[in-house]
Amino acid sequence: MGDNTGSASAVPPVVLPTSLSDARIDSLPSSAYYIPDFISEDEERIILDKIASAPKPRWTQLTHRRLQTWPSDLVNNKLVEAPLPAWLNEPVISRLKAIPRTQESDAPDLFSDSPHQQPNHVLINEYPPGVGIMPHKDGNAYHPVVATVSLGASLCLNIHKSKEDGALDPVPAWRILQEPRSLLITTEELYTDYLHGISDITADVDLSAETVANWSLLRSTDYVDGRNSRATRTSLTYRDVLKVAKLGNKFAMFQKK
């Protein structure tokens, strides 16, 4: 399945897999998928420019990094109904909807069984070199499908198990290398039972087919000495918030139950 954006005389079109089964990360449990060239370099540049030009109040400044939330933050695990801006809709959401789960003619798309049949919320995280995020789960406010587009630079996402006593196993069970312009999808067991995080390091090391779960799906495996020196990486995390409040009921969202 192809997806041509722009004129034929410009950059080559983005070519999507014919189904998600072609992008499956086989070494991971349940359903995880990786597409290395989900958007083009021009599309990446446009999105990064839109992020950079967002009004200052759009940014939430944390201790070592910052983020944007579109169309708004959640309150009591609910989202006020509002459309996503056009630059977050296209081309990402239409392409997510365009890839069937399997090669069967009537196969559904990734969000076909979510409440709104497509993402309605995008979290934009900016990760400077040396800055990550502690292992965590995304919680029950969302349909258990996460689609993350990476921009600007590569880094490893760590997948962690819990020990028998419920404590976090600090050693990652798997690592997924996310390249610029790639799409990573995690669903089902990988969403509900495992934690994910990013180490606070300036370089990902010991990268190889034995240590990176999606190695065979990467656009490039040309890492000198198995090392990826980090630069600023921006992620777009697309999810479907289960509960949405109409604008007329927005004040009810602030009432404690």
Q: Which of 68, 183, 71, 177 is nearest to 121 (CA)?
A: 71
Structural domain that includes position 134 = 20-245
* Res 253: pLDDT: 45
Which two structure tokens, joined as six digits, stand for 15?
């070519």
- Asked whether residue 232 is assigned to any structural domain, the reply reads yes
- Asked whether residue 239 is assigned to any structural domain, the reply reads yes
Q: How many Å apart are CA 97 and CA 157, to the nearest integer?
A: 24
* Res 252: pLDDT: 46
Supply the CATH number for residue 115's domain. Answer: 2.60.120.590
Q: Tell me: pLDDT of 221 over 90.
A: yes
Q: Tell me: pLDDT of 257 over 60.
A: no
* Res 249: pLDDT: 52
Q: Are 101 and 111 in contact (CB under 8 A)?
A: no
* Res 162: pLDDT: 87
Does 173 or 163 have the greater pLDDT score? 173
Instruction: State the pLDDT confidence band at 79, using cuts at 50, 70 and 90.
Output: very high
* Res 153: pLDDT: 98
Q: Tell me: pLDDT of 169 over 80.
A: yes
* Res 230: pLDDT: 97
Neighbours of 220 (CB within 10 A): 9
- Asked whether residue 12 is assigned to any structural domain, the reply reads no
Q: Tell me: pLDDT of 101 over 50.
A: yes
- Asked whether residue 39 is assigned to any structural domain, the reply reads yes
**Rounded to whole angstroms, what are the CA distances from 36 to 17, 99, 148, 197, 257?**
10, 14, 12, 20, 43
Lowest mean per-residue pLDDT among 101-110, 169-178, 246-255: 246-255
* Res 248: pLDDT: 62
Q: Tell me: pLDDT of 37 over 70.
A: yes
- Asked whether residue 151 is assigned to any structural domain, the reply reads yes
Please compute Rg for the chain using Cα positions: 18
Q: Tell me: pLDDT of 6 over 60.
A: no
Q: At 255, phi and psi to the nearest 5?
A: -85, 130
Total structural domains within the chain: 1
- Asked whether residue 73 is assigned to any structural domain, the reply reads yes
Q: Tell me: pLDDT of 256 over 60.
A: no
Q: How many Å apart are CA 74 and CA 213, to the nearest integer?
A: 32
Tens of pLDDT, residue by residue over 184-198, are: 999 988 888 999 999
CA atoms within 13 A on the CB side of 236: 30
Q: Which positions ≥6 away from 240 have C-beta within 8 Å?
A: 111, 114, 115, 116, 118, 119, 120, 121, 142, 143, 145
Q: Tell me: pLDDT of 116 over 60.
A: yes
